[in-house]
Amino acid sequence: MARAAVLMVEGYEESETMQVVDLLRRAEVETHTFRFQEDPFVRSMQGMFVKSDKVFSNEVRGYDAIIVPGGRTAATPLINNDQVMDTLRWFNEQGKLVCGMCSGTTVLEAAGVLAGKRVTGYTGYDQKLVSARAFAADEVAVWDKNVVTSQGPATPYPFAFKIMEALGIDPSFIKGRLLYAKAGGR
């Protein structure tokens, strides 16, 4: 069974975190959220408090994928955390899956993970994700080598589906159960 670690720092974007966690769990990916504080309830961008699973530690390195959701104020504390930066670099060096959405893509950029890869990101992020080989502004989710990126709050579903594909899981069953295809999702 594939395992995914999702980072939850104060200011995370709710839909980019909880919808992705829900979809991955529906696909039977063992998914845990990791916090950076003792209190298990982490305050989101909109002020919601959501209970996380674990405290961030080297345990994350035992997972197959690491996921950095966005949030207006969430990127800076992650970029300033040496353990997070080292862990993202380690995942990349090991060829393990590194995923970022919205401002989470700037965390991947700061860690040097996007270098030479085709990515997407939030509007205007082509100016921030400068080490990428190509910026696909017209695609909501992109998978290149060991990196999955997505644009922002409206894209948790395609982002989670790309992560599933990168983990070797066909998302069509989940899409069918969600009526995703009938609603016009791709």
Per-residue pLDDT tens digits for 78-134: 999 999 999 999 999 999 999 999 999 999 999 999 999 999 999 999 999 999 999
**Cβ neighbours for 139, distance < 8 A, ≥ 6 positions apart:** 120
Does position 48 have pLDDT exceeding 70, yes or no? yes
Kindly report the pTM of this predicted structure: 0.95
17: how many CB neighbours lie within 10 A of its CB?
28
pLDDT digits (tens, 9 = 90+) for 15-45: 999 999 999 999 999 999 999 999 999 999 9
What domains appear along the chain, each with residue ranges and CATH number?
A: 3-177 (3.40.50.880)
**Residue in 15, 58, 60, 13 with CA at minimum distance from that of residue 33:** 60
Question: What number of other Cβ atoms are within 10 A of residue 115's Cβ?
Answer: 14
Residue 38: the pLDDT is: 97
